[in-house]
Structure 1
Amino acid sequence: MKINSLKDKTKGKLSPAFGIKKTRRSEVNYCPPYLTGESDVSLEKLRVELLLDVKKRNNRDVVRMKMEKTFAFRRYEVVRDTPMIQDFQERWPALFEVNEINAEFKRITTMPLQSRFLSQLDVLSDKLLKLFEKRGGQIGKRLERILAPMTQDDDVDTGRECVLKGLCVYLNEDPANLVREFVAEDVAAIKESIEDTMVGIFVVKHDATSRPEDMGIVLEGLQILQGLDNAALAAAMLFGLLYVLNLNYPPELKHTFEVLQKVVMELDGTTLSKKAQVLKNRL
């Protein structure tokens, strides 16, 4: 209510209906109040302390405690100010690592991120694969190519990656917009492509057939995370960051992320687009 109040509007944009902030994706703690006894001054002091704490070794417990205390302060900043990713990362560097993304997502939704994302993907994989096999036409042929690595490699991570890419294709979206693969030697092309990417996962390989040498997440042309183990984990972290940073789903992948949210994670699964509802019914 405070964020949406007229006196809290940005100067020069005083329409009551301008820039209304509201939950869109089942955020339980979309913009929670400060803890009792805390203020902007005390929480800003903790934020500054965190800048030093993250540089210390074996200091995870202290960082976790202070991140928990500053959650409402940080969330208010994200929702009200919609900062650029680079600026926000400089202010909250502790947030941009796997454990803290998991923790922040749970603070927002009360639901675990990584464990639920991967387990639910595994639960739905067999049914999704059956749907993919039944699809004909050009999409069916694309799905065959996407799923081909599963016949050569029974690794669970390979299977999850193929299912995620297949989901994009089944929803008539391009998996290259989700996962972008590069050859390690082409450094200039990698840098240029990352700078042009608003939202996505990057994978660096020695050659087209080798296993990834590096994998991470790009937001607003910046490498936010690096050194992730597999594409499914990267997809989970990307999904979590869209919640953590209160970002819209990229238009070219809006159906894929809607299905990940409402069908896989079961967050607000009662109101679906026609395309997502058809998929859910078939499952």
Structure 2
Amino acid sequence: MEMQNKLAIYRTHLRKLGCPEVTINSLKHKPEGKSRPAFGIKKPRRSEVNYCPPYPIGESEKSLESVRMELVSDVKKRNNREAVRMKMEKTFAYRRQEVVRDAPMIKDFQARWPALFEVGEINAEFKRITTMPLQSRFLSRLDVHSEKLIRLFKNRGGQIGRRLGGIIAPMDEDDDVDLRRECVIKALCVYLNEDPDNLLREYVAADESLLQESIEETTMGIYVLKHRDASEKPEDIGIVLESQIVMQDLDNVPLAAAMLFGLIYSLNLNYPAELKYTFEVLQKVVMELEGNALSKKAQVLKNRLYQ
């Protein structure tokens, strides 16, 4: 109890000093006209070490906005990656407060911060938020668990077992590591009683109208645009958020899954309800971010993996 009181006093002092992470979570800072004291309270939920950091010393909203405007033009220039990286680093707190405080629409945010929607910058932003690498950790930890996951999939019986068998069957014909990772991710959805079509959908290149219609109905997901000859490499792999294509021309589905996971952190998005267990396992079991508090379904899977 004494420690709890000390922490409460400490947070009060931080609030008086204007610490944004404490101020934004204050019960006194609620939307006008809302009677519920906890309405809209924003808190770090997924091990975000830098959830809502303060501006760098000597910087203000006005000065960082001018840097942001420079970034919009810098990202269009060739061979300018280092300048973009430095300015993205400098404006991290400004961008983060905008995401957490205002929860902007994806379309508006992408127009303001186009540099963020690239593989390198999503990796960098995720590390700024969690202090952990994204792409390398996501793929390597998925590989670590793959063998045991595949064994669990093969041992599952009934209708789900048959469906799992169909998903992982291509791995027996092709030892490509990216195909293996893709099959494991899709099978993980099914194993957790969720539909992988809510995460990943495939289309034939000729069905552009169907693709566009599906994108307009998608809140969050990955699309794969294939040639009529399914044996060829996909024509395009991309990510959709709020009915907008935010990333295209990704190399493979596992990379797209890692980038989608990173965008959820970067944009402070909720996990989609129809995939909440899949993303929970990816976060807490695969990435090992806040892995002590799991739902019953995720805990059962984790126990089986570590038997």
Question: What displacement does 1:21 show?
Answer: 0.9
Under a length normalisation based on structure 1, what TM-score does the superposition of the two structures give?
0.98
Residue in structure 1 matched with residue 294 of structure 2 by the alignment: 272
Residue in structure 1 matched with residue 13 of structure 2 by the alignment: none
Q: Secondary structure at the match of 2:169?
A: helix
Residue in structure 2 matched with residue 232 of structure 1 by the alignment: 254
| 1:220 and 2:242 matched | yes
Question: What displacement does 1:170 show?
Answer: 0.5
Residue in structure 2 matched with residue 190 of structure 1 by the alignment: 211
| 1:3 and 2:3 matched | no
Q: Which runs of 5+ in 1 are unaligned?
A: none
Residue in structure 2 matched with residue 30 of structure 1 by the alignment: 51
| 1:262 and 2:284 matched | yes
Is the Cα–Cα contact under 8 Å of residues 5 and 16 in structure 1 kept in the other structure?
no
Is the Cα–Cα contact under 8 Å of residues 280 and 298 in structure 2 kept in the other structure?
yes
Is the Cα–Cα contact under 8 Å of residues 30 and 41 in structure 2 kept in the other structure?
no
Question: What displacement does 1:4 show?
Answer: 3.0
| 1:62 and 2:87 matched | no
Which letter does structure 1 place at the counterpart of 2:69? Answer: V
Q: Secondary structure at the match of 2:55?
A: coil
| 1:16 and 2:18 matched | no
Higher mean alpha-carbon deviation, 32-41 vs 203-212, is at 203-212
Residue in structure 1 matched with residue 266 of structure 2 by the alignment: 244
Which letter does structure 1 place at the counterpart of 2:159? Answer: Q
Q: Secondary structure at the match of 1:212?
A: coil
Residue in structure 2 matched with residue 161 of structure 1 by the alignment: 182
State the structure with more CA Rg: 2
Q: Which runs of 5+ in 2 are unaligned?
A: 1-21
Runs of 4+ in 1 over 6 A off after TM superposition: none
Equivalent runs, 1:194-213 vs 2, <5 Å: 194-207=215-228, 209-210=230-231, 211-213=233-235
Question: What displacement does 1:2 show?
Answer: 1.9
Q: Secondary structure at the match of 2:215?
A: helix
> Which of 19, 41, 52 does residue 73 from structure 2 map onto?
52
| 1:97 and 2:126 matched | no
- Distance in 1 between residues matched to 2:64 and 2:272, nearest whole Å: 32
| 1:110 and 2:116 matched | no
- Distance in 2 between residues matched to 1:272 and 1:200, nearest whole Å: 23
Q: Secondary structure at the match of 1:165?
A: helix
- Distance in 1 between residues matched to 2:195 and 2:29, nearest whole Å: 40
- Distance in 2 between residues matched to 1:263 and 1:115, nearest whole Å: 15
Is the Cα–Cα contact under 8 Å of residues 48 and 130 in structure 2 kept in the other structure?
yes
What's the CA shift string for 1:145-203, capped at 9, x where partnerless?
A: 00111011111111000000110110011111111000100110000001110000000
- Distance in 1 between residues matched to 2:46 and 2:229, nearest whole Å: 37
Question: What displacement does 1:266 show?
Answer: 0.1
What's the CA shift string for 1:116-151, capped at 9, x where partnerless?
A: 000000010000011111000001000010011101
Q: Secondary structure at the match of 1:224?
A: strand
- Distance in 1 between residues matched to 2:259 and 2:234, nearest whole Å: 17
What's the CA shift string for 1:223-248, capped at 9, x where partnerless?
A: 01000111100000000000000000
CA spacing shift, 1:208–1:143, aligned 2, 3 Å: farther
Residue in structure 1 matched with residue 147 of structure 2 by the alignment: 126
Which letter does structure 1 place at the counterpart of 2:84? Answer: V
Is the Cα–Cα contact under 8 Å of residues 6 and 15 in structure 1 kept in the other structure?
no
- Distance in 1 between residues matched to 2:259 and 2:120, nearest whole Å: 10
Question: What displacement does 1:213 show?
Answer: 1.1
- Distance in 1 between residues matched to 2:223 and 2:251, nearest whole Å: 12
Alignment: residue pair count = 283
Which letter does structure 2 place at the counterpart of 1:239? Answer: F
- Distance in 2 between residues matched to 1:204 and 1:17, nearest whole Å: 43
- Distance in 2 between residues matched to 1:219 and 1:129, nearest whole Å: 30
Residue in structure 1 matched with residue 7 of structure 2 by the alignment: none
